[in-house]
Amino acid sequence: MRHLLDTRTLSRDDALRILDVAEDMRDTQSREIKKLPTLRGKTIVNLFFEDSTRTRISFEAAAKRLSADVINFSAKGSSVSKGESLQDTAQTLQAMGADAVVIRHGASGAPQTLATSGWITAGVVNAGDGTHEHPTQALLDAFTIRKRRFGDDSRGRDLSGVRVAIVGDILHSRVARSNVWLLHTLGAEVTLVAPPTLIPQDVSAWPARIVYDLDEAIAAAPDAIMMLRIQLERMNAAYFPTEREYSRRWGLDAARVAALPDGSIVLHPGPMNRGLEISADAADSPRSTVLEQVANGVSVRMAVLYLVLAGERPGERDTNAEEHAP
Ligand code: NCD
């Protein structure tokens, strides 16, 4: 795998390969010594133009557990215009010998630009670009759903027939977009639930059903319900009357959790607005997989970094493998 830019163009085989390698990575994470020598000598740059806590530290933990060197580059607040700033920064990283760049950027398409510009030769991993995509989040969500459903018997399985409801601020959510494409590719049935103001205009082109009423979506007995954060920082207008009204109609509370079918799970990518899109008791209920998602995120990112950096590339010898042969 040369880059991971989106899930829209990710094939079913590649998606399953990532999820299965993530299973192997997860197995190593219960050992006493969690660190593997796999990416020794490789340099990974975390290039974050937007605020992030969990995604950045998750990539950092993943890279370190594979023994890569990690450089954290937080470029927020740069006054240079976006195109120039990205090019200059990229060329600096190239000169420093970065083997992979994990990029989060406020502009949709920035990772694609980086990967195709010719500025760098490093592999590019999209860690969230604008409202476009966040592929590793969708992969860790799919991993979490698959793991809860099939347990130790997960490898090689897709999500055929699994019903997933994605609820809330679809309009601003790259997590929703990446999940719609990936879940569809893996055979799941996706329902989007939101007020009409938070549904994107191009949604008719997405492989998903739209429902405006959360109780109606819950009555359809989803296997997984994914609550999205209301992205107040991306809102420049009023998309709903009041926060109180929003949580009454589209928030997940204890009563709605109780109405979910047995065995169904609650996901949230974080950070959560407790009391807005999800109540504290829903977030902390036994159905909630929020912390499993965080743990699985490290395994999934280890898999992605491994496949981008150590996976076979045309014309390249795997010197790493020789170096670590006993
Ligand atoms: C998501 C993001 O940044 O897109 N969060 C994350 O990756 N931890 C979702 C969000 O910010 O609501």
Let me know whether 276 and 143 are in one domain.
yes
Q: How far is the CA of 61 from the centre of ligand 1 (A)?
A: 17
Peptide bond connecting 271 to the previous residue in cis, omega within 30 degrees of 0: yes
Give the pLDDT confidence score for residue 85 in this predicted structure: 75
Confirm or reject: Cβ of 105 under 6 Å from ligand 1: no
Q: What is the pTM of this model?
A: 0.93
Q: How far is the CA of 130 from the centre of ligand 1 (A)?
A: 10
Nearest to 178 by CA among 49, 5, 53, 62: 5
Tokens 């989040």 belong to 137
Segments forming the whole domain that contains residue 311: 12-132+296-324
Q: Is 191 helix (H, G, I), strand (E, B) or coil?
A: strand
Let me know whether 65 and 126 are in one domain.
yes
Atom of ligand 1 nearest to the CA of 134: 4
Distance (Å, rounded) from C-alpha 13 to C-alpha 16? 5
The total of structural domains in the chain comes to 2
Q: Is 71 helix (H, G, I), strand (E, B) or coil?
A: strand
The answer to whether residues 29 and 299 touch, using CB atoms and an 8 Å cutoff, is yes
Give the pLDDT confidence score for residue 168 in this predicted structure: 98
Let me know whether 116 and 142 are in one domain.
no
Confirm or reject: Cβ of 135 under 6 Å from ligand 1: no
Give the pLDDT confidence score for residue 76 in this predicted structure: 62
| Residues above pLDDT 90, as percent of the chain | 82
Pocket test for ligand 1, best of 53, 56, 137 (most atoms within 8 A of CB): 137
Let me know whether 141 and 220 are in one domain.
yes
7 within domain boundaries: no
Let me know whether 78 and 178 are in one domain.
no
Question: Residue 18: which CATH number?
Answer: 3.40.50.1370
The answer to whether residues 8 and 181 touch, using CB atoms and an 8 Å cutoff, is yes
Would you say the C-alpha torsion 92, 125, 176, 24 has a positive or negative sign? Answer: negative
Per residue in 13-57, pLDDT (tens digit) is: 999 999 999 999 999 998 999 999 999 999 999 999 888 889 999
5 within domain boundaries: no
Q: How far is the CA of 270 from the centre of ligand 1 (A)?
A: 6
Residue ranges, the chain, pLDDT below 70 = 76-84, 312-326
3 within domain boundaries: no
Let me know whether 85 and 150 are in one domain.
no
